[in-house]
Amino acid sequence: GPKERHIGEAGLDLEVRNARNTVRSVKRFIGMHSEADAVAHERDFITCGIDSDDTESINFAVQYNDAYQTFRPEQILAMMLTQLKGIAVSNLPSVARPSCVLSCPAYYTQNQKQALLNACDIADIQCLGLLNETTAAAVDYGIFKIKEFPDDTTKPGAYVCFLDIGHTATTASIVSFYASEMKVIATCFDENLGCRNIDNLLLHHFRDAILKKHRIDVFENKKARIRLTQACQKVKTTLSANPVTSLSLECLMEDIDVHFPSFKREELEELIQEFAEKYEMLCQRIAQQFVNIAGEDISSLPVELIGGGSRIPIVKKITQNVFGSAPRTTLNATETISKGCAIHAAMLSPSYRVRDYKISDVAVYPAKIGYFSPIAPPAAANQRQLYPFLPNDINKIINIIKPGDVLPKALDISFERDENFDVFTFYDHSGDGVLNRSRVLPNQLLLNHSTVTNVGGDASAIENVISRHNKVKLRFKVSLVGSIDIASAQVITEYDRYDATEAMQTDENSEDAPPQEKKTKKERKTSQALIERHTIKDGMTADMVIQAKALEKDMCAQDALVQRTAEARNSLETCFYEYRYKIVDRDGELHKFTPPESVTKFDSMCAEASAWLESEEGEDANLEAVMSRLAPMQAIVSGAVARMRNFESLPISMTEFEAKLNAYRAEQS
């Protein structure tokens, strides 16, 4: 109903009937700016409205709770996580707050990964970590085959290439396996190449065919477009196992039946030639990276296909042509990423014991830090254009991550500072990098803005100071998925001061002695600086997450209330549809077990309840109103059923009593 959410399969079943209020492709909109060029492309794949908020983030506009409301992608994802949490809790009642590891595409930026963590927070789920999708599949592959891999990590391991042909993107990773460790050594992707490209090409093909044959345009009707899209997906799936198939839809639009008796695999492969060329280019890129890194022949590299497109014949054919060997499908194409995340969650959780297994990944995006240096020249003229979020006084920029760096990693950088200073962390946008500029705007390149305080310390606490030299050491930590943060800030202060103890002894021993040159002493002091993290514009603030979490809790309570109300209505209907005859009719099995006054009363209550449920008041009734009519009817039904069961069990009880009585008499005699 309008006051209830249908999530997952329940929502998919209602998509055709409620297209305007169905939200899908959430993963594509996470962290996307409303002004990004990619928004126009993504609009073709959704049926609900799109809006933007004060932070210029994408919002989905739907009718909910009898009102027009907007939800951020993080909130929609949190709804799905809440649904999964309910399934987990129902199967594991002892777990009050489930924990998880979420997978994310390799092309996600740090802000998008933070949005995933915000979604977990909104859903009240403890997120133990994030894992790239192909890395998760590699965990599922490698941890169960440790006996097949070498032990010595200083030598080349067993290489395997994982190709994930997903719904919206395709990712390729090469992983080196050892008995106790796995290392991702290369990753490349095409974030706009997926199975939905094939679905979309089929959709436009059959749209043109229907327009030519029946003079109707299915794109003018959302319901018809969704039905045709689902039929095209079925055509794609069927042609993966059969050389020919058909497409039939009854009453697609304007009471017109659509039927295409024959569509061959050759026609499909000709139609998706552009998709095939892009996929081949991606395979060649990852193959070349393997040759450059490992220095081995590409034909020696096993290839595992996963994802929804792994069964498409042309995908298998191209993969075999590029790598020189037939690809394998030993992993569960649709579940392996989830299994890898579950295994990694068990590794990170204190509740489970899992064998030691080290996981390392590679960075895909270059990152830099910027700060003000008093000895550096002024900033370059084009800096403001490249990085509009940096203040004008930032004149020193250095690299901290480059593509291919091993993750996780820690990096120490020292600064000569006597006063508090700002540090900006951001993605490098200056060259021809892999960042998709149609999805990531320049303002979204900023990852962190921190102010390092308490740098100077309390100099007055140390006496006889001649000079002081401050060095601030910042430790940057980069997570397994490339998220960057300042973990600690340490101030190392070196002092040159007079040796007051020696000077005092000289004064006491010889008051008339000639003055001597004062001796200096070097001292070193270490203290902790403070890190003040500023909220960046892109993404949800802490207050927004708290508000969204409270809203999600309220919506869950309303969903439960709607569900209980529906169950109460069903019970009320059962009373007058099933029990009215049994109690009121003289031949009913419960009639003789119901007092006459209760029979008359139950009959009138059934008639009233039936009319009330069909009325406008009954359709919008709340749980309290339904229960006020259901409770007295259930009391009559339960009383009659109890009396009938007692009556039916009486002969059995009497037989048992007589048997015991006879046995007792026999013992006494």
Residue of higher predicted confidence among 343 and 498: 343
- For 19-54, how does the pLDDT look when each residue is reduced to its tens digit (9 = 90+)? 899 999 899 999 888 888 888 888 889 889 888 877
**Cis status, amide bond into 408, omega within 30 of 0:** yes
Q: Cα(first)–Cα(last) distance of the chain, in Å?
A: 73
- Residue 498: the pLDDT is 62
Name which of 143-157, 495-509, 558-572, 603-617 the model is least confident about. 495-509
> What tokens appear for 501 in the block?
């103890």
Provide the 10 A C-beta neighbour count for residue 226. 17
Provide Rg for the chain, Cα atoms. Answer: 35
Residue 125 above 70 pLDDT? Answer: yes
Provide the total of helices (H) and of strands (E) in the chain, helices listed first.
Answer: 19, 22
Distance CA 308, CA 19 (A): 24
Residue of higher predicted confidence among 504 and 48: 48
- Residue 3: the pLDDT is 81
How confident is the model over 364-383, as a mean pLDDT? Answer: 87
Q: How confident is the model at residue 499 (pLDDT cuts 50, 70, 90)?
A: low
Q: How confident is the model at residue 445 (pLDDT cuts 50, 70, 90)?
A: confident
- Residue 438: the pLDDT is 73
Residue 505 above 60 pLDDT? Answer: no
- Residue 511: the pLDDT is 55
Q: How confident is the model at residue 405 (pLDDT cuts 50, 70, 90)?
A: very high
- For 446-470, how does the pLDDT look when each residue is reduced to its tens digit (9 = 90+)? 999 999 998 876 555 556 666 677 8
- Residue 457: the pLDDT is 61
**Could you tell me if 47 and 226 are in contact, meaning their C-beta atoms sit under 8 angstroms apart?**
yes
- Residue 23: the pLDDT is 93
Quick one: which of 296, 274, 288 has its CA closest to 322? 288
Q: How confident is the model at residue 650 (pLDDT cuts 50, 70, 90)?
A: confident
Residue 506 above 60 pLDDT? Answer: no
CB-based burial, 196-225: b 16+ in 10 Å, e otherwise = bbbbbbbbebbbeebeeeeebebeebbbbb
Sheet holding 181-190, edge to edge: 303-306, 158-165, 170-177, 181-190, 358-362, 406-407
3-class secondary structure per residue, 159-199: EEEEEEECCCCEEEEEEEECCCEEEEEEEEEECCCCHHHHH
Residue 515 above 70 pLDDT? Answer: no
> What tokens appear for 9 in the block?
């399969």
How confident is the model over 578-587, as a mean pLDDT? Answer: 89
- For 249-262, how does the pLDDT look when each residue is reduced to its tens digit (9 = 90+)? 999 998 999 999 99
Going from the N-terminus, what domains does the chain have, and what CATH number goes with each?
1-96 (3.30.30.30), 195-265 (3.90.640.10), 364-540 (2.60.34.10), 547-664 (1.20.1270.10)
Q: Three-state SS for 51?
A: strand
Helix ranges (H only) for 215-335 are 222-239, 265-271, 273-294, 313-323
Residue of higher predicted confidence among 385 and 213: 213
Any idea which residue has 């990590």 for tokens? 153
Average pLDDT along the chain: 89
- For 133-171, how does the pLDDT look when each residue is reduced to its tens digit (9 = 90+)? 999 999 999 999 988 999 988 888 999 999 999 999 999
Query: What percentage of the chain carries pLDDT values higher than 90?
Result: 60
Angle between helices 273-294 and 313-323 (to 10 degrees): 30
**Maximum mean pLDDT: which of 30-34, 119-123, 419-423, 664-668:** 119-123
Phi, psi dihedral angles at 423 (to 5 degrees): -130, 130
Q: How confident is the model at residue 330 (pLDDT cuts 50, 70, 90)?
A: very high
Name which of 251-260, 372-381, 543-552, 641-650 the model is least confident about. 372-381
Quick one: which of 20, 10, 138 has its CA closest to 79? 10
* Burial group, residue 78, by CB count within 10 angstroms (0-12, 13-18, 19+): buried
List own/partner pairs for 148-153 with CB under 8 A and 24 or more apart. 149/177, 149/178, 149/179, 150/178, 150/179, 151/178, 151/179, 151/180, 152/178, 153/178, 153/180, 153/181
- For 531-560, how does the pLDDT look when each residue is reduced to its tens digit (9 = 90+)? 999 888 778 888 999 999 999 999 999 999
Residue 272 above 70 pLDDT? Answer: yes
Q: Which residues contact 314 (CB under 8 A, 6 or more apart)?
A: 269, 272, 276
Residue of higher predicted confidence among 553 and 653: 553
- Residue 431: the pLDDT is 64
517: which DSSP letter?
A: P
Pairing of strands 465-478, 256-264: unpaired
**Could you tell me if 588 and 582 are in contact, meaning their C-beta atoms sit under 8 angstroms apart?**
yes
Residue of higher predicted confidence among 108 and 493: 108
CA distances from 235 to 170, 279, 312 (A): 21, 21, 12
Q: Three-state SS for 393?
A: coil
Query: What percentage of the chain carries pLDDT values higher than 70?
Result: 94
**Maximum mean pLDDT: which of 8-12, 259-263, 500-504, 590-594:** 259-263
How confident is the model over 567-591, as a mean pLDDT? Answer: 89
- Residue 463: the pLDDT is 60
Residue 512 above 80 pLDDT? Answer: no
> What tokens appear for 133 in the block?
């999708």
**Sign of the Cα pseudo-torsion (92, 97, 99, 105, in order):** positive
Q: Which residues contact 54 (CB under 8 A, 6 or more apart)?
A: none
